[in-house]
Amino acid sequence: MTGPARKAVERLSPVFGPLGRLVTDQFGAFKSRLLEQCRRSAFGLLLLPRAGLRLPSVYVKRREIMQQLYNCGVKSFAVTMVVIFFTGFILSLQTGVVLKDFGAQDQVGQLVVVAMFREMGPFITGLILAATVGSAMAAELGTMTISQEIDALELMSIDPIKFLVLPRILAMAIIGPVMTIFANYVAIIGGAIIAANEFGVPFDKFFQLGRDALAQQERYFFMPKDMFVGYFKAFIFALIISSVGCAQGLLTSGGALGVGRATRAAVVYSFVLIIIVGYYITWFFYT
């Protein structure tokens, strides 16, 4: 470097030196966060197949599975049904208002039934289960990780995935579709109430048009296509919620604050994945 150039660098170093260090520090922090996120994503993606390899031990874990069925299903049933009931209210009211402008308010039953079975039933149920059950899984396993209970299980040669993760994933895989079945019919009943009170659509006509809309569809495993796609979505969403919740719990670090971060991450990631995967399932079956 020539003399003038060296002097110019020396004059500018007090200004750009701190800026350069700041950029370097921020880049290093970003790289660390990116690597950590990749590690967590890989762990979450592999957790589900790792749990699937432990399926032969299902009978041994039947008590834990029954307990998780109670935690996932019974404890979240009331709030799910209340939310989905008013979802039926809203869906029927909004579609009925639009159809009334065209004199076709009698068709509200067809739209509500198809929308609930195809999309809204599994979607709303999945979001509620992610917020209630998924967050609870992350918090419970995260607390166990922070208090070194997971390390104690491994020290006693007890597989944490078989002991803790497998019962939760299996319970959610059962509860997701079952809860969606109840949610669909509760929402349709709510929609029928609004259709009758606000638009004068008789109950029998509401349900008949809904049945006709489903009966005209092609069959998948002895079910109308919309019904099958909805229950398939519910099953996939349940796997997503349980695997994400368990993965975030097992990866918890940083004490009580880390448990809060893991719980929040479990809900956020589950919401995002439910929306994205739901779109691609719909695209696969309907395009």
Query: How confident is the model at residue 26, as a pLDDT?
Result: 66
- Given a cut of 70, the residues of the chain with pLDDT beneath it are 1-31, 36-37
In a domain, 3, yes or no: no
Q: In terms of residue numbers, what domain contains 220?
A: 67-286
The predicted model scores a pTM of 0.87
In a domain, 20, yes or no: no
Q: Report angle CA 122, 123, 125 to the nearest 5 degrees.
A: 65
Query: How confident is the model at residue 22, as a pLDDT?
Result: 60
In a domain, 9, yes or no: no
Query: How confident is the model at residue 62, as a pLDDT?
Result: 86
Query: How confident is the model at residue 53, as a pLDDT?
Result: 86
The number of helix segments (H) and strand segments (E) in the chain equals 12, 2
pLDDT tens profile 218-268:
888 889 999 999 999 999 999 999 999 999 999 888 888 889 999 999 999
Query: How confident is the model at residue 222, as a pLDDT?
Result: 86
Task: Report the DSSP pairing between strands 223-224 and 219-220.
Answer: antiparallel
Per DSSP, the three-state class of 108 is: helix
Query: How confident is the model at residue 10, as a pLDDT?
Result: 52
Number of domains composing the chain:
1
In a domain, 229, yes or no: yes
Query: How confident is the model at residue 245, as a pLDDT?
Result: 92
In a domain, 137, yes or no: yes
